[in-house]
Amino acid sequence: MSTRREVLCLQDVWAGYNGRPVLEGINLSVKEQDFVGIIGPNGGGKTTLLKVMLGLMQPTRGRVRVLGQSAVQARRFIGYVPQQVHLDRDFPVNVWDVALMGRLGRRGLLRRYTSQDRHAVARALQQVEMLDAKDRPIGELSTGQRQRVYIARALATEPQILFMDEPTASVDAHITTSIYELLQKLNEHITILLVSHDMGVISSHVKTVGCLNRRLFYHESKEITPDMLEEAYHCPIDLIAHGVPHRVFAHHSREEAEA
């Protein structure tokens, strides 16, 4: 365990908007081939945390190191899968061209995509089983299919770490399972960190779980303790998890967890 390299390190990170902190004293250490799920309520700072780690937002205090570099420098080793709701469904673009955007960082300005780029994109689409759909308009796909394309776009960057924002929001339960199976396969080579408000799905697939609500409760384990949830959600545990404290959702289907 201890021989694995640390790829992500946050030390006492504070960040916020207009002087109002959204993240308070975040400490986080992620090692190679970790698969970290961070859950928390909406407005708890999940997307802000990703922004800080991607260098899209400067922390007001603290230190962020990604692969031993600053967040901005490390971007070219990061694959990012954003939250789908922010993207225009009717945009006139097909699957292939969306996935090609994953190669932008490799090519730079005034350079055309090469056959190497096309190979990488084809491989990425193959991995998510969307290569056959490469000519289809992105707006025609189902939410789950589109999510696969965004994962392929992130994979096309040939990343060392994958950051994902709500990867299975508004996706059917069985599609959710297939996406997590894909992620588990990818995790053999790539470190994955994802954030979601949907803890039911997360905890049965990832290796370690943390709870974020301004402050982060993370103990490098898969257990979500009642204390963590109480701290993060400020509500009694059984409202969320039927009062089952250990490896809370392992025996639960998604429907039960949501009921």
Partner 1 sequence: MIEALQFDFMRHALVAGALVSIACGVIGVYVVVNRLVFVSGGIAHAAYGGIGLGYFLGINPVWGAIAFSLAAALGMGLVQRKTRHRADTIIGVMWAIGMAAGILFVDLTRGYVVDLMSYLFGSILTVPRSDLVLMAILDVVIVALVAAFYKELLALSYDETFATVENVPVGTIYIILLCLVALTVVMLMRVVGLIMVIALLTMPAAISEQFTSNLKKMMILSIVLGIVFTTTGLWLSYALNLTSGATIILVSGTVFLLSLLYKAVAKRRARIQA
Residues that bind partner 1 (CB under 8 A): 54, 56, 75-76, 78, 80, 82, 86-88, 91-94, 97-98, 100-102, 104-105, 107-110, 113, 137-140, 153, 157
Closest approach of partner 1 to the CB of residue 100, in Å:
7
Closest approach of partner 1 to the CB of residue 46, in Å:
15
Strands 208-213 and 78-81, by their bridges, are unpaired
Residue 177 burial by CB count (10 A; 0-12/13-18/19+): exposed, middle or buried? middle
- Which two structure tokens, joined as six digits, stand for 234? 């400020």
Closest approach of partner 1 to the CB of residue 114, in Å:
12
Sheet arrangement for strand 78-81: 78-81, 161-165, 191-196, 35-39, 208-213, 215-218
Q: Element (H or E) spanning 256, and its range?
A: helix 254-258
Contact assessment for residue 142 and residue 88, using Cβ atoms and an 8 Å cutoff: no
Closest approach of partner 1 to the CB of residue 27, in Å:
24
Closest approach of partner 1 to the CB of residue 72, in Å:
8
Shorter beta-carbon distance to partner 1: residue 2 or 18: 18
Task: Please count the CA atoms within 13 angstroms of the CA of 237 that sit on its side-chain side.
Answer: 15
